[in-house]
Structure 1
Amino acid sequence: MTDQRGSLATALAHLERLLATNPAMAEVQAQEILKSVPGEPRALLLMAAAQRAQGRFEDAIKTLDHHALGRLDPVLVEYDRAISHARAGHTKEAISLLQRVVKLMPDHPMAWRLLGDQYTLQGDKVGADGAYMHHVNAAVRDRRIMEAAKALFENRVPAAEQILRGHLKAFPTDIAAIRMLAELAARVEHFDEAEKLLARALNLAPSFEAARSNLVTVLHRQNKSVEALRELEILLQRHPTHAGYRNQHAAILARLGETDQAITIYRGVLKDVPNQPKIWMSFGHTLKTAGKRSEAETAYREAVELEPHLGEAWWSLANLKTFRFSYGDIALMQKEAERSDLSIEDRLHLDFALGKAFEDSAEYETSFKYYDRGNTLRRSMLDYDADQVSQHKDLLIQTLTQDFFAGQGAGGSDAPDPIFIVGLPRAGSTLIEQILASHSQVEGTMELPDIFSMVGRLKDAAGKPFYPEVLAALNLEERKALGEEFLARTRIHRKLGKPFFIDKMPNNFLQIGFIAQILPNAKIIDARRHPMACGFSCFKQHFARGQGFSYSLTDIGRYYADYVELMAHFDKVLPGRILRVQYEEVVEDLEGNVRRLLAYCGLPFEEACLRFYQNDRIVRTASSEQVRMPIFQDGLDQWRHFEKWLEPLRKAVGTAT
């Protein structure tokens, strides 16, 4: 008897292996087992699976009708019957069987997913939505989903992606897996892919709130604030008191320039949940933007009181450029920075904050040690490639020649509204913006992402990025449409109805060729600063995102040299189009340079531009405090305190000025 059972077990194991590789042979093996052991239920179940794998769904249904299957778990059998009916196109029967399965086993993830698919085929969107949501709740029982979740938690991105893509190839409507893959895409900053995946999940299950919340975040990260707000309002209608959704609401409104409303919402959220350090930190950011410096400091202090190792909150205090840490602050930060369980993000933020603290106390060697350590950590997290940037610069120079622009002729939107301020970060662009925004006809906005977003959308005939060569293929109508699109996309940031507005995205110097084609009457101002002063200022600044070159002295120097070479090229091929403003000259002769700026922009001189520091408008950059004060010369040569450690920067800059 024991031998017979052992032989049967061996035969069934062989049958399972065959099923994965050769369904036809598996069916033959099942038939052989059934000859020896008539009505063997496991052989019947596996034979049905082999028939399904061969596309013979009706045969599988007949096999599964065998009375002997009553000896097996009814959930197992009914689910197999449901699969067979679903594959055969018997939607009504499949739904009936699946309803029995989930009644017997309410946390059966695959049954809920398949039920959602069948409801979708039947056109029952409400039923599908409910089934898919049950599937999400039950997904913790799905082995593959849990494997992917574990890999994602451990930051094994390639392994998680392989599991999820393989799983979705077999089960394309698994919304839990779709959302997880979107999270993975967002983690590596492939936000457009994440957006598409989350839209797919919400198309299948509109009440999938976790996916909608993720979509809000992804849209916000792409600066699609209007779209993010639209999705968030759906969540807020369902949960008006939800602290997380209200926090997101405030962050989006702040991005849109609705600062007062954002501050009001933050106050309400923190009244309800006062023990949330990251919300206090976000509140601090918004207060700082609004010029409420004292309140911003208090908010950041609340954050570090609640979570002393929260590096970003300490760095936010340091980033209040006029703030000075106490000895107690420094001791606490040093203690937290040496914790063995500290995340890399907290550690690098603490390093930048400590760099600023020791710089302020004139302990320059210790300061540089912390700045260098923080930059090294941040650089290790990035895949920035300086060679790639240089190659792109060379391609721009080779493509966007004087003949190229002459051959293009007129075109684009003739609106004179935009004033672009380009250059490197920390080169004085915020000062120029503040001066111009103090004029009665000019509105300051922010570092707008729209030019980069529009350039990223330009593709060749095969759908691949092809910039800048693709610019030659744009006809007059397309260039005009792109110019009008930029004006439409940026209109939401123009609150005051003034005729001119500023886009101070510094990296737009790479897109001057595109700007010249689509907005021929726009003004372009190049904010320039001494390379060593600018380079070191970048090195000691931790940027939220988007400035990957700034975490290595050599990378900074190479980026600066590439920028200077490219701007010199544009001076030749677009003569007179760009105004260069040297920061040091503005500090030495404010009025002369203000008059020069306004004349270039075609604006009459106004005294208010000399009193730019009295302008209480919203300022979002690291210089937000400094531009609320009169110009001072103290910072011009600050880099010289660190000169002996800056040789890699000097060498990489070379002769660029």
Structure 2
Amino acid sequence: MTQTLIEKAERHFQAGQLEAAKQTYLEALKHNAQNAFAYLGLGKIAFQLADYDRAITLLSQACQLSPYPQDALILLANSFNAVSSPADALTSLNYAMKQYPQSKTVLSALIQQHIRMGNVPSAESLLEQQIASDDALFSAYGWLDRVRVWHKPLSDSQWQQLRQLSEQSSGRVKMLIDYALGQAYDRVGDFQRAANHLRQANAFQLSLCDFATKQLAPFYRSIAEHFPAGTNTSKNTENETITPVFIVGLPRTGSTLLEQMLARHSQIDTVGEQPFLSNVCVPLLEKASQNRFPACLSEAAQLDRDKVAAHYINYLSKHSSAKYVINKLPANVQNVGLIFALFANAKVIILNRSMKDVSLSVFKNYFAHNEPYFCDLAQFAEFADYTEELTNHWRSQFSGQLIDIHYEALVSSPQEQLIAVMDYLGTSMESQCLDQHRTAAVVDTLSAIQVRKPISQSSVGRWRDYADILFKPN
């Protein structure tokens, strides 16, 4: 009976029916109060709902009850990271590694934890194990991270291995190896070879995409249409114990750098890149209004908006007691109208950067989701146009309520830019914000290594290295 209930609950969970899954797991516990799978399932639900403290309690129970707690330990580590307890996360994963020394899943999780924490030598040592794996795909992911951390240059034998793998591999394995080789050649200044491998990697990933960027145009237009000039913004001041701050724009514009600089401030904290607005708030509004986004907002009653706003603020308050809490998900540029409709005191920072530098950074990096604008320069230009058009709409509609920051100015005159941001937020500058590289926080983006280095202008104008290779005029 209990096993049947667990299987039923898991089906509900996979279908996104979280409340039904929760009730079924609770029913299973009535039959067997020591069922580890029920606690694991409830922990997964709590984690997905961003109730991380409860997730930690439930997953800890699952670990104690299960003879095979691998999945619970990994999710427990993720929960610890979410509440800014990276040391506890590392302890969980080190314990998992001792229990499952042959597990690729645990090894990968431990490596990523070290990268997130900036423990580069530890990550690099473990990556040697991953690279040596007989699993070609697992090894290829290891090569990609090995080049990414770049604590020490590749040896001659490693260069030879990578070249041979590129020639002998196919499919996803070759794609990952070509991304790794492209980044490795870029590191040593061989930009022609770098571009050759990056072209191959991006072309294969583009073949895996199941839509074209131009298909997004109606969606972006519909957002502006449902948030026309003069749309009312929230007047609700009940949630003003916390000021929600959003850093938005295109990816690879320096949002992690700005986030970590701001998070050094005594009154500012961050939840990282959290899709909470799109994954939790929007579905609540859609359910209340019986309409899809973006139409759901204009159809939702003010009372429903206030409830959703309180839900988001409650989520932030569980994470932090800071006055200002950042969400730096770039895609929230789509949600700026929603943000101001929910929060009277919201702060939105639009991050800008040279488009060619952004394009190059996107082209060089592997993004796990197969999205065409991340693996084709022409389609990225389309995506950037849609984003800029929508951003200009927000600038017009919410004039005086937003602030624009440029990456180039941030790295050339960081103190001046931070003072401007602090004035906008309504607080004062603190000197430690200029020492973002000293952060002990977990950083879960592609910039996890770079952001732990002192502020530098070395990435400004990098596209010129590829001016005659990738950016030739038509």
Q: If the length of structure 1 is used for normalisation, what is the TM-score? A: 0.64
Distance 1:417 1:276 in 2: 42
Say what the alpha-carbon RMSD is for the aligned residues: 3.3
1:490 aligned to 2:363? no
* Larger relative contact order (Cα-Cα within 8 Å, sequence gap ≥ 6): 2
Aligned CA distance change for structure 1 residues 395 and 568 (closer, same or farther; 3 Å): same
Structure 1 runs not aligned, ≥5 long: 1-127, 137-174, 652-657
Q: Secondary structure at the match of 1:426?
A: coil
Q: 1:445 to 1:557 in 2, by over 3 A?
A: same
Superposed counterparts of 1:325-344, under 5 Å: 325-339=154-168, 344=171
- In the TM superposition, 1:400-419 aligns within 5 A as 400-405=227-232, 410-411=235-236, 413-415=238-240, 416-419=242-245
Q: Could you say what secondary structure the match of 1:576 adopts?
A: coil
**CA shift digits 1:422-465 (9 cap, x unpaired):** 111110111111221121211133111211111244327884x5
In the superposition, relative to structure 1, how do residues 450 and 462 fare at CA in structure 2: closer, same or farther (>3 Å)? closer
Number of the residue aligned with 1:317: 146
Partner residue, 2:117: 290
Higher mean Cα deviation, 304-313 or 354-363? Answer: 304-313
Q: In the alignment, what sits opposite 1:632? A: 456
1:530, CA displacement in angstroms? Answer: 0.5
**Helix, strand or coil at the partner of 2:16:** helix
The Cα shift of 1:202 comes to: 5.0
2:352, 2:407 within 8 Å by CA — same for their partners in 1?
Answer: yes
CA contact (8 A) 2:234 2:340 kept: no
Does structure 1 retain, via aligned residues, the 8 Å contact 2:39–2:58? yes
Q: Is the 8 A contact 2:235 2:343 kept in 1?
A: no
**Which deviates further from its counterpart, 469-478 or 631-640?**
469-478
Distance 1:608 1:311 in 2: 39
Paired position in structure 2 for 1:96:
none
Which residue of structure 2 lines up, in the alignment, with residue 264 of structure 1? 91
- Which whole-Å CA distance do the structure 1 matches of 2:56 and 2:100 have between them? 22
Paired residue for 1:575? 399
Query: Amino acid of the residue matched to residue 371 of structure 1?
Result: L
Structure 1 position 359 matched with structure 2 position 186: yes
Q: 2:196 aligns with which of 369, 374, 377?
A: 369
Paired position in structure 2 for 1:56: none
Partner Cα distance (2:97, 2:405) in 1:
43
Return the alpha-carbon distance in structure 1 between the equivalents of residues 330 and 465 of structure 2.
27
Mapped pair 1:564 → 2:388: yes
How far the C-alpha of 1:287 sits from its partner, in A, is 1.5
Kindly provide the amino acid, as one letter, of the partner of residue 500 in structure 1. Answer: Y
For 2:323, the equivalent position in structure 1 comes to 499
Tell me how far apart the structure 2 counterparts of residues 475 and 430 of structure 1 sit (CA, whole Å).
35
Aligned length: 466
* Closer/same/farther in 2, CA of residues 236 and 569 from structure 1, 3 Å limit: same
In the alignment, which residue of structure 2 is the partner of 1:129?
A: 2
- 2:379 maps to which residue? 555
**Does structure 1 retain, via aligned residues, the 8 Å contact 2:51–2:315?**
no
Select the residue among 436, 446, 449 that pairs with 2:272. 446
Is contact 1:290-1:617 (8 Å) kept? yes
Aligned residue for 1:439, secondary structure, equals coil
TM superposition shift of 1:539 = 1.7
Cα distance in 2 for partners of 1:210, 1:307 equals 31
SS at match of 2:230: helix
Aligned partners of 1:217 and 1:435: how far apart in 2? 32
Q: Percent identity?
A: 21
Shift of 1:389: 2.1
The answer on whether the counterparts of 2:36 and 2:65 sit within 8 Å (CA) in structure 1 is: no
1: CA distance between counterparts of 2:172 and 2:65?
Answer: 34
Q: Aligned equivalents of 1:442 and 1:203: distance in 2?
A: 37
**Any residues of structure 2 matched to 1:187-586 within 5 Å, and which?**
192=16, 229=56, 232-233=59-60, 235-239=62-66, 242-307=69-134, 309=136, 310-320=139-149, 324-339=153-168, 344-405=171-232, 410-411=235-236, 413-415=238-240, 416-453=242-279, 454-459=281-286, 463=290, 465-494=291-320, 497-545=321-369, 549-586=373-410
Which segment is superposed worse, 251-260 or 448-457? 251-260
Residues 590 and 205 (structure 1), Cα distance of their counterparts in 2 relative to 1, 3 Å cut: closer
Q: Does the aligned pair in 2 maintain the 1:412–1:476 contact within 8 Å?
A: no
SS at structure 2 position matched to 1:420? strand
Q: Following TM superposition, by how much is the alpha carbon of 1:516 offset from its aligned partner in structure 2, in angstroms?
A: 0.3
- How far 1:216 moved relative to its partner? 6.2
Structure 1 residue 337: Cα displacement = 4.0
Q: Structure 1 residue 201: deviation in Å?
A: 7.3
Aligned partner of residue 527 in structure 1, secondary structure: strand
Contact 2:86 2:441 in 1 (8 A): no
Q: CA deviation at 1:247?
A: 3.2
Query: Residue 374 of structure 1: SS of its match in structure 2?
Result: helix
User: Which of 570, 592, 606 matches 2:430?
Assistant: 606
Q: Does the 8 Å CA contact 1:321/1:625 hold for their aligned counterparts?
A: no
| Cα contact 1:276–1:303 (8 A) shared by 2 | no
Work out the CA distance in 2 between the residues paired with 1:456 and 1:368.
41
CA distance in 2, matches of 1:591, 1:546: 38
Describe the superposition over 1:175-222 as per-residue Cα deviations: whole angstroms up to 9, x where unpaired: 58x96x77xx96xxxx626x5786687578667977986786687678
**1:500-534 superposed Cα distances (whole Å, 9 cap, x missing partner):** 11111111010000000111211110111011101
Q: Secondary structure at the match of 2:446?
A: coil
SS state at 2:271 partner: strand
CA–CA separation in structure 1 for the residues paired with 2:269 and 2:93: 26
Structure of greater Rg: 1
Which consecutive unaligned segments of at least 5 residues does structure 2 have?
Answer: none
| Alpha-carbon distance change, 363 to 223 in structure 1, aligned in 2, over 3 angstroms | farther
CA distance in 2, matches of 1:347, 1:413: 54
State the alpha-carbon separation in 1 of the partners of residues 262 and 187 from structure 2.
Answer: 31
Task: Check conservation: 2:25, 2:41, Cα contact below 8 A.
Answer: no
**Structure 1 residue matching 2:459: 3-state secondary structure:** coil
Amino acid at match of 1:283: L
User: Which whole-Å deviations, capped at 9, do the CAs of 1:18-51 have from their partners, x for residues lacking one?
Assistant: xxxxxxxxxxxxxxxxxxxxxxxxxxxxxxxxxx
Q: Deviations over 1:616-639 (max 9, x none)?
A: 322222212222222222211222
- Distance 1:325-1:256 versus aligned 2 partners, 3 A rule: farther
Deviation larger for 568-577 or 233-242:
233-242
Pair 1:429–1:200, CA change in 2 (3 A): same
Letter paired with 2:298: A
Deviations 1:358-398 (A, max 9, x none): 11122222212222222233333333442332212111222
